[in-house]
Amino acid sequence: MPSAAGTPTGKLPFVVWVLAAGTFLMGTTEFVIAGLLPEIAGDLGVGLSRAGLLITAFAVGMIVGGPTTALATLRLPRRLTLVLALALFALGHVVAALSTSFTVVLAARVVTALATGAFWAVGFVIATAAAGPARATRAVGVMMGGLTLANVVGVPIGSFVGRYTGWRGPFWALAVLAALAAVFVARFVPATEQRAELSVRAEVRALRQGRLWLALAAAVLIMGGVLATYTYITPLLTDRAGIPSGAVPSVLIVFGLGALGGTAIGGRLGDRRPMATTITAAAVTALALFLLIPLSTGPATAVVLVFLMALAGFTVNPVVTALAVRFAGDAPTLTSALSTSAYNTGIAVGSALAGRALNTSLGLTGPALVGAVSAALTLLPLIALALGGTRRQARIAARHTAPARMRDHETTSVSSRH
């Protein structure tokens, strides 16, 4: 897909914003379920713990289904893949909204996750190609900003609407909006030829690069660190910081605003100084999470640290995603899908470890400690990437200077003979 050469300097192509709207819808459906869980459990006649499988099923569908659907649609035109993904997304919500069976709703969630994985995998590739190399990270940041905005706006609105219309209302709304998004994608995403030149072998061959797996490891660890703490942030705020339960949604909005700001910062700085940006942000995230352990007894400091961990933690995300796609070269689709799987793996593993820590003697500070350790470990793959890049630059410089030395030596020899 050609880059948007005709786009004015500093501005992203409109298609990137269309794709960001799609990620907003898909981010909303992933997280809104938590706010609707009691209504869903009561309506479908299951317990809360079983209803929670709707969240787990979506995460598993994203982890496994993203790469699978990316490979399955590899030879389809990218625009067609996006339209089909949005259509399947809408259909999954319609089926869930019409059903009275928990099993059917659970299956619909898995189908929706598969569609989400396919959309994100192809969407990231289209966004970076349209923006061009100089603005690739910023384009990824805008797309991921749609996901972050879903937490700030989409999830609260969906939960609020669900209280008055029942949980099926937000599902119907998401289905309609996804159908509308499909129309916009068909209209504004440029048509491309069938990708017959691509193969599963080429996509898998791109995974042989060690630096690609370092970027994916950083994605797992940073998201696991932040979300490990965020999953259990409510009891920390109410029982330890003394914040009234009615004020917790406001603090969660503060977290969302921090995440949105971090995504924007990463998108802006990541193209120019990717390693300095990610290493600094990961270090600040680890520090904020560590300070949350002793300083979360005060409401003001707790809120500031929650904002800071979101701001710094989400700064890393667009940069490592763009790096992973860049490392994949001419076969970025599977890598893009694996980036999405990496974030969901971090969420699943981090939340599980935080839950275990919560039941130890660490109590309410256990999740923050798990998060601090995970964020600190993020520095290892990032530093390895930085050192690897420095060595590559040195080798390139050596290859360029060696011929020059040889020419200088030959010139000196000729001069001395004369």
pLDDT digits (tens, 9 = 90+) for 61-102: 888 877 887 777 777 788 888 999 999 999 999 999 999 999
Residue 415 lies in a domain: no
Residue 413 lies in a domain: no
State the pTM of this model.
Answer: 0.72
Find the mean pLDDT for residues 305-328: 89
Residues 22 and 142 in one domain: yes
**What is the tally of structural domains in the chain?**
2
pLDDT the model gives residue 102: 93
Q: Tell me: the pLDDT tens digits for 17-27?
A: 888 888 899 88
Residues 25 and 154 in one domain: yes
Residues 295 and 373 in one domain: yes
Residue 369 lies in a domain: yes
Residues 27 and 155 in one domain: yes
Question: For residue 170, what are its two tokens?
Answer: 């937000």
Residues 164 and 210 in one domain: no
Of the residues 136, 168, 191, which one is the last residue of a structural domain? 191
Based on C-alpha coordinates, what's the Rg of the chain? 23
Q: Tell me: the pLDDT tens digits for 363-396?
A: 889 999 999 999 999 999 999 999 986 555 445 4
Residue 357 Cα distances to 59, 78, 293, 354, angstroms: 21, 43, 13, 5
Residues 267 and 353 in one domain: yes
Residues 264 and 385 in one domain: yes
Torsion, CA 85, CA 88, CA 92, CA 95, rounded to 10: 170
Which of 102, 110, 131, 146 lies closest to 264 in space, CA to CA? 146
Find the mean pLDDT for residues 158-181: 90
C-alpha to C-alpha distance for 137 and 264, rounded to whole angstroms: 10
Find the mean pLDDT for residues 396-410: 52
Residue 165 lies in a domain: yes
Confidence of residue 14 (pLDDT cuts 50, 70, 90): confident
Residue 410 lies in a domain: no
Residues 187 and 224 in one domain: no
Residues 159 and 226 in one domain: no
Cα dihedral sign, 391-393-399-405: negative
C-alpha to C-alpha distance for 121 and 108, rounded to whole angstroms: 20
Residues 244 and 392 in one domain: yes
Residue 109 Cα distances to 92, 102, 158, angstroms: 7, 11, 16
Share of the chain above pLDDT 70, in %: 85
Round to the nearest angstrom and report the end-to-end CA distance of the chain.
Answer: 57
- DSSP character string of 314-369: HHHHHHHHHHHHHHTTT--HHHHHHHHHHHHHHHHHHHHHHHHHHTSTTGGGHHHH
pLDDT the model gives residue 208: 73
User: SS in 3 state form for 71-101?
Assistant: HHCCCCCHHHHHHHHHHHHHHHHHHHHHCCC
Residue 147 lies in a domain: yes
Mean predicted lDDT score pLDDT of the chain: 82
pLDDT the model gives residue 180: 94
Find the mean pLDDT for residues 46-67: 79
Q: Is 132 helix (H, G, I), strand (E, B) or coil?
A: coil
Of the residues 164, 191, 218, which one is the last residue of a structural domain? 191
User: SS in 3 state form for 22-53?
Assistant: HHHHHHHHHHHHHHHHHHHHHHHCCCHHHHCH
Find the mean pLDDT for residues 352-365: 87
Of the residues 163, 191, 219, which one is the last residue of a structural domain? 191
Cα dihedral sign, 195-197-201-205: negative
Q: Tell me: the pLDDT tens digits for 320-347?
A: 988 887 887 766 777 777 887 888 888 8
User: Which of the given ranges, 140-144, 182-186, 392-396, has the highest pLDDT on average?
Assistant: 182-186
C-alpha to C-alpha distance for 111 and 114, rounded to whole angstroms: 5
Q: Tell me: the pLDDT tens digits for 146-163?
A: 877 887 788 778 877 887
Residue 10 has pLDDT above 70, yes or no: no
Residues 151 and 231 in one domain: no
pLDDT the model gives residue 122: 83
Q: Is 153 helix (H, G, I), strand (E, B) or coil?
A: helix
| 395: CATH | 1.20.1250.20
C-alpha to C-alpha distance for 268 and 308, rounded to whole angstroms: 18
Q: Tell me: the pLDDT tens digits for 220-268?
A: 999 999 988 887 888 888 889 999 877 887 887 888 889 889 988 988 8
Residue 414 lies in a domain: no
Which structural domain, as residue segments, surrounds residue 228?
A: 200-405
Residues 16 and 35 in one domain: yes
Residue 7 lies in a domain: no
C-alpha to C-alpha distance for 71 and 341, rounded to whole angstroms: 14
pLDDT the model gives residue 301: 95
